[in-house]
Structures are given as C-alpha cells and as structure tokens.
Chain A
Amino acid sequence: MDIYIHSAGIISAAGDNSNEAFLASAPAYDADRLLCDGIDYTAYIPAMQLRRMSKAVRMGVVAAKICMQRAGIEKPDAISIGTGLGCLNDTEHFLSKMVTQDEQMLTPTSFIQSTHNTVGGQIALLSGCHGHNLTFVQRGHSFENAVINTALYLDENPFHNMLTGGIDELTETSLAVLKRAGVYSAEPRGPESILHHTRPGSIAGEGSGFLLMAKSAKRGALCIKGLSLFVTKDTGVALRKVDDFLQQQQLTSGDIDLVMLGTNGDGKYEAFYHQLAQSIFQNNSRAAFKHLSGEYPTAGAFALALLSHVAGMGDIPSFLLAGPPPRRLKHIVLVNNYVNHYSCWHLTVA
C-alpha cells in the first residue's frame, strides 16, 4: 500500500492537536460519555459561519483545517470521508419537527445539513477543492473504506495528496438508543475501566480525525503498509484473522515495536483483546486510545491521527501505554473494532 501520512488533525474529547496542551495530561473523568465540547472553534471559523454548522460539521471542518495547517497547505487535491452515522443532530432535528408538526411548516436548513456528505462538501466549499470527494458510510468500517478509496485515488494520481478523515457525533438520542442496544455502558466509568473489560458496554464518544495522505515519502511520517478489514461475531475467527494479517504482512512479534489496541471497556470484547495481549502480542509494548476518544464508529480515524501525532512527537505519553514503553518506533500494529467490525493496520515510521 505505502501511503504516507503527512499530517494529522484531531478533534477529540481529549482536545485538539493544534497546541501544546494536547496530550499534556492524563484523562480524568467519571462519565457515561466523552464529548468534544471543550474545543474553541472560533480560531478556525468565523462566528457567523459557525452558528450555522452542526457539531459534526464543526468537528470535521476544523480537524481538516488543523490537518492542512500542519501540512502547510490551504487546499487538498481530493477528499475522502468516513462517517458511521452521518450528521445525526440535523437528521434528528428535521425528523423531530416533521413528526411533531405533522409534516408541515418545515424549514430546509437541517435537512440540507443532514446529508451524509455534508462535511466533505463543506471542506470542498471552504477550501475551493474541486477534486474527487467521496463519503463512506459502512458502520465500523466507514473510515477504513475511505482509506481504501484514498489508496485507489493515489494510485491513479501519484503526485496528488488526499485529505482523509473520519467523523461521528454523539447525540442524546444516539446515546440513549445505543445504551439500550448494549453498545454503550449505562453507568458512568473512569479511564481505567476502558483498559479493563469488566462491564457491559463501552464509554460513548465522538470526534474527528483527519490525515493528509500522499504517495510521496516524508521523513518521520507514519506510513500505511497494510490494512485488513473483517466483520465477525466470533472471537475465534477474529483472532485467526489478526494472525492471518500478521503473516500476510510478514510480521513476527519481534518485528513489532508497538501494538495499539481498540480496548473499549466492553466485556463483550474482553476475550478478544485479552487473548491478543496474552498470546500474539505478549512480548510487545501495548497502547490504548479509547480512554481518550470514547467509542464511536470512526474512532479508528482518531487512533491513526493520534499515532501520526505521537510519531511526530517522538515520545509516547505514559497514559497511553499499558506496560513498558517501546524501545524504538518503527513497526506499529493497530487492531481496532467497533461492534462486529474489525480492522488491522500495519504502520511504519519512515
């Protein structure tokens, strides 16, 4: 695959990566949700425009801006987006008015912004990007599919770059519904509980991760070497697929410097992550990320952006690690899941 990540932009419950405060301190909370409410968007978007943007659009547009700013560009050549649930706030707003007003006296704004490709369209509009611009909505593989699209695009346009991102917002409704469905924990939890699978449901989250991707190598940049996706309800199958991926990438435990796992505190996935930590990856340094982001369909975009950011820092904060720090950072494996959708990444630091 060999796609280089030239920069990353992050909007998360743990802050945005535009300043030194990001990753400066360990997360501390006792909550049932991790929201991106503390972000100051006004530094990036005029207040007038900001008022018309839903949270999903703000998170997406600003993470894209941070990403481009860090790469020193104002406009990408192309855009590829993943979102599991799309612009939920606007969808609910229009739906609720439609139901309560019996289909009458409705206004278009929230309908217009409820479209799944709103974020991609807004980034194109604000940056004047006329290039290829797709949005993927494949549950826990939405962002990963956007990356596959990036690989296809860069193959055909090897001198271009592509702004690739994942966004999902949490609403009161999605929180309530996904609690009832057992995806999210009914009880408040602390960061420690995300690292240990003891209770049903994970902590709800939201956020946005954007990456500027290109074929051209950049020293110190994260490079995507391989990506494998699978859907299964069976832990045994999932473990075998991770094994298959490592073999296909010709990676043995000794080659791997860091393993980042999508541990999310949900007892349903304890067997999977526990097995990985105790068998294939037992001798590897391990890290986690969902105690910063919470769980959502495109949390993989946050993980990749976080790894890109950390690779640039050259140092991994201890609160991301479960165990000893890596001796060096060359080969990284990222294994993540959102419900039954799993992804395995092989990354290197160039």
Chain B
Amino acid sequence: MHQSAYIVNTGLISAIGNDTATCLDALVTGRSGVGKAQYLQTHWRDELPVAEVKLSNAELAKLAGADKDWPRTAFLSLIAAREAWQPYADKGEGLRVGFFSANTVGGMDLTEDFYASFLQNANAGNIASVANHECGAVTELVSNHLGIYDFVTTISTACSSSANSIMMAAQMIGRGMLDIAVAGGADSLSKFTLNGFNTLMILDKLPCQPFDQNRRGLNLGEGAAYVLLMSEKAMQQCGATSICRVSGYANTNDAYHQTASSPEGTGNKMAMLKALKVAGLQPADIDYINLHGTGTANNDSSEGLAVSVVFGDKVPMASSTKGFTGHTLGASGAVEAVFSALSIRDGIVFPNIRWQTQMEDVPWKPVTELKQGCDIRHVLSNSFGFGGNCSSLIFSKS
C-alpha cells in the first residue's frame, strides 16, 4: 500500500440492531438476533431459525427513505451505507468518492415473486420487479441515492464478498485513485438462499454453536455493513478522526472444492499469512481474531486448523460473532470489519456465544466471555466463501 486507508466511521444493520450503536450494545450485553422468521415467507419458518432484521419491507423503506418497490437488500444497504457516509456527505467537496459494495442475492426476493407468475405465462409478472435483479443494480440504487459516482462496483464472491470490497477500496485509496470510499456489503434473507443452504444440509435447526465440538451448522442471517474509508488528506479536509486503518489484506483460493473447505484449510492459512505480510506484522502482533466461524463442521475444523498452523500454540483471543448475527453471507465480511473496528476503538473482545464443548481436532478455545479494558492494536478478520474464496483483513490502531 502506498498510503493508508483509515476507517473514520461505520454503518451497520443486522438482526441485533438497526445501527452500529445498537448492534454493539447487543454484543456487549449478549443479546443474539437468531430466532423464528417473522418476515421471510418460507415453508421452513418453524424448522430453521434465522437472524432477521426486525423490520418489514415497508418499515425498512420508511427508515431508508426509499421507494417501497426496492429489493430488501437495497433497503439494508442504503440504511447502513448512509449511517457511515451521512456525517461527511457535504464535506467532501472536490474529493473523489467511491462506493464499493457486495452482495450475493441481488433483487432475488422480488424475482422469486415474479418468477412464479412468469412460469405460468411468459408475458405475465411485473417486469419492473426484476429490473433490480442483478447484484450490481442493488448497488446502483444505493450509490445513486447517496450521490456517489466517481467509482461504483459490486463484488460477488459468496461469503467473502464484502471483505473483498473493503480490500479493493483500501487499495484504490492506497494508490491515490480515490480519496474516500464507502465500502462493505449487504444481503437480505431470501427463500432462494435459505433453500439452497438447506439442500447442502449445513443449516442448524437450533441457534448455532460455532467452534463447539457438537456444532450442527449455521444460521442464515441478513444485514448490511459499511466502513467509511479516507486518505489522510480527506480526513483533514473532512475533519474526521481515525478509528483504525486497514493495514493488511489478502484474497487467496483454496482450489479444493466448489463449496467445501480443504480439511487443512490451505486457502484460509494462505490468506492469513499473506495479510500479515502485507501489514508487515508477525502472528504475535495480532491481539484478536474475528473468526469466520460459521458453525458448520467443515468450516470450523479447517479454519481452526489453519489458525493453529499460523499462530502455533500462541493463538490470540479469537471468537466468531455469528452466534449473534447469523451468517449474513455477502454482508458478513463487512459486518465483522465493523466489529473489528469497534474492538480496537473500545478495547473489547466479543464472546463466542453458546460455546460449550472443546473441539477435539482444534487445540485452542475461543473467547466465551466479553473482555473489556484490553489494548487491542491489531485485529485479524477472516471471511471464507464458496468457490474456494478466502479473505483476511487486518485492522490496526492508528
């Protein structure tokens, strides 16, 4: 990196709150967002718990101040992106601003309804409802609403999508191609993803237990999160102060299987090592790892082993926060980037809730109680996805 990209603000909406402060309060007080679906209309509602944002589409539209016909993912994206961007929106005169988003589901929630009519008759269904089917269309609804035009992109690499959008934003600020970036991602729950994950038999019928020997799978969640990144020059002009900076990043590929991680976590290990190298840090410098920790047998084993290889017998404090938020797929990397920034800002480490039994194949234990008053200087955040996609980000106190 040529120059640093600093996180100066965050925006977040998830099952545990509609803004950053409420989500943080839930993490600190131990309030999980996993439960029975209230808004997602699905056959599986009584069997598969999810981590839903606790608002209907109509309520989200109102909160977002957006057209009621948007896909749910776009509402979530706008609410979180605006929280991050709003305080500085009128201070960036003459600065180049980019919007880096990520999602996997696009406007699928509306397409699902359209498709039912379309299957009956190719001339049926409201064509406007699929106008925002594309992942990139969801991003553009939000970037246009926020008035950000200098660079707009969407990354879709499954569950690591928004970690990658933060990486790319940091690279472009690092190279002086942009001064400011709103970077993160969004994903709403949809029947498509719920049923898809259900066919893979990796959904937990109970609230998930990441890194527990008896874990049964993941809970799907929804949400959106963005970090507001600035160069030093932009911070000065905007009167912004840094929470932390993006010091390291890496994307690697496991090249093992389309959906499963290699048993030894090859790609995971490579991502962590590369991110450390980019940051110029040693494993011992990391104070906290926000794990990908989905709660599936496969992920937690391979991630756990990869962490062991990278950190040896000195594994730092580590936890998965997916017991609170569920797995928010394309949003999860950004949700956890916000949690990482808060960990540095407030000197806290979030608990890996519902942990009961030590894993047999992983020698270390996650943090299970809230830790406060810590000096957290460097946080590593992992995000892994389908297609072998592995991303690690490092955030450092600046």
Q: Footprint of B on A, CB under 8 Å?
A: 79, 84-86, 91-92, 94-96, 98-100, 102-104, 106-108, 111-118, 120-122, 124-125, 127-139, 141-142, 145, 148-149, 152, 155-156, 173, 176-177, 180-181, 231
Contact of B136 among A84, A118, A180 (CB under 8 A): A84
Question: Nearest chain B CB to A32's CB is how many angstroms away?
Answer: 14
Main SS class of interface, A = helix
The residue on A at minimum CB distance from B130 is: A177
22 CB-based A-B contacts, threshold 8 Å: A85-B134, A92-B115, A95-B111, A103-B191, A106-B195, A108-B199, A112-B259, A112-B386, A116-B157, A117-B387, A118-B387, A121-B253, A121-B388, A125-B255, A133-B253, A133-B388, A134-B251, A135-B156, A137-B135, A138-B139, A139-B134, A177-B130
Contact of A95 among B115, B172, B253 (CB under 8 A): B115
Q: Report the nearest B residue to A155, measured CB to CB.
A: B175
- Is residue B287 within 8 Å, beta carbon to beta carbon, of the partner chain? no
B157 touches A125 (CB 8 A): no
Question: Are A117 and B389 in contact, CB atoms less than 8 angstroms apart?
Answer: yes
B257 CB to nearest A CB, Å: 7
In the assembled complex, the Cα of A177 lies from the Cα of B111 at a distance in Å of 11
Inter-chain contact B115/A137, CB cutoff 8 Å: no
- Of all chain A residues, which has the CB nearest B266? A130
Tell me whether B140 is interfacial, beta carbon within 8 Å. Answer: yes
Decide yes or no whether B127 CB sits under 8 A from chain A: yes
Interface string of B123-142 (1 = CB under 8 A from A): 10001001100111101100
What is the CA–CA distance of A107 and B118 in the complex, to the nearest angstrom?
22
**Residues of B in contact with A, size category:** 35 or more
Q: Is the CB of A99 within 8 A of B112?
A: yes
Known A103-B43, A125-B388: A116·B136 in contact at CB below 8 Å: no
Residues on A with C-beta less than 8 A from B116 are 99
Is there contact, CB below 8 Å, between A121 and B258? yes
B197 shortest CB reach to chain A, Å: 8
A124 touching B156, Cβ below 8 Å: no
3 smallest beta-carbon distances between A and B, as pairs = A121-B387, A111-B196, A116-B156
CA distance A134 to B171 in the complex (A): 14
Contact of A133 among B43, B139, B156, B389 (CB under 8 A): B389
Min CB distance, A348 to chain B, in Å? 22
A124, B388: Cβ atoms under 8 Å?
yes
Known contacts A108-B200, A115-B104; A130/B115 CB under 8 A: no
Cα–Cα, bound, A29→B171 (Å): 46
B255 touches A138 (CB 8 A): no
Total A-B pairs in contact (CB under 8 Å)?
A: 171
Q: How far is the CA of A133 from the CA of B199 in the complex (A)?
A: 26
Give the CA-CA distance A84 to B175 in the complex, in Å: 27
A141 to B119, CA, bound (A): 30
Q: A125 contacts which chain B residues (CB < 8 A)?
A: 255-258, 388
Q: Shortest Cβ distance from A256 into chain B, in angstroms?
A: 26
B115 surroundings in chain A (CB, below 8 A): 92, 95-96, 99
B258 touches A136 (CB 8 A): no
B111, B171, B175: most-surrounded residue (chain A CB, <10 A): B171
The answer on a CB contact under 8 Å between A111 and B388 is no
Answer whether residue B39 sits at the interface, using C-beta atoms and an 8 A cutoff: no
- Which residues of chain B come closer than 8 Å to A141, judged between CB atoms? 136, 152-153
Which of B127, B175, B253 has a CB less than 8 Å from the CB of A131? B253
A180 to B128, CA, bound (A): 10
Q: Which of B140-162 contact A (CB under 8 A)?
A: 140, 149, 152-158
Q: List, in ascending order, chain A residues with CB within 8 A of B251's CB.
A: 132-134
User: Please, which residues of chain B bring their CB within 8 A of the CB of A124?
Assistant: 253, 255, 387-388
Contact B386 A121 (CB under 8 A): yes
The residue in A91, A116, A156 that gathers the most chain B C-beta atoms within 10 A of its C-beta is A116
Q: Is B367 an interface residue (CB 8 A)?
A: no
Question: In the bound complex, do residue A139 and residue B136 qualify as a contact, i.e. CB atoms below 8 Å apart?
Answer: yes
CA distance A136 to B172 in the complex (A): 16
The answer for the CA separation of A95 and B196 in the assembled complex, in Å, is: 10
Taking a contact as CB atoms under 8 Å apart, the answer to whether B153 and A145 are in contact is yes
Docked CA distance A152–B191 (Å): 36
Q: Beyond A134-B157, A137-B136, is A98–B195 a contact (Cβ under 8 Å)?
A: yes
Q: CA–CA, A84 to B258, complex, Å?
A: 21
Is A100 within 8 A of B157, CB to CB? no
Closest A residue to B202 using CB positions: A108
**Residue of chain B at shortest CB distance from A113:** B258
A156 / chain B contacts, CB cutoff of 8 Å: 171
Q: Does B282 contact A (CB under 8 A)?
A: no
Q: Give the residues in chain A near B191, CB-CB below 8 Å.
A: 98, 103
Give which listed residue, A79, A98, A173, A181, contacts B192 with CB less than 8 A: A98
Contacts of B387 in A (CB 8 A): 115, 117-118, 120-122, 124, 133, 135
Per-residue CB contact flags for chain B residues 227-259 toward chain A (1 = under 8 Å, else 0) read 000000000000000000000001111111111
15 further contact pairs, Cβ within 8 A, besides A86-B135, A120-B387: A79-B253, A94-B195, A102-B43, A108-B199, A122-B387, A131-B252, A133-B253, A133-B389, A134-B168, A135-B155, A137-B156, A149-B168, A152-B168, A152-B175, A180-B127
Among B155, B175, B252, which residue has its beta carbon within 8 angstroms of that of A137?
B155
**Smallest CB-CB separation from A340: which chain B residue?**
B140
Closest A-chain residue to B102, C-beta based? A137
Minimal beta-carbon separation of A75 from chain B (angstroms):
10
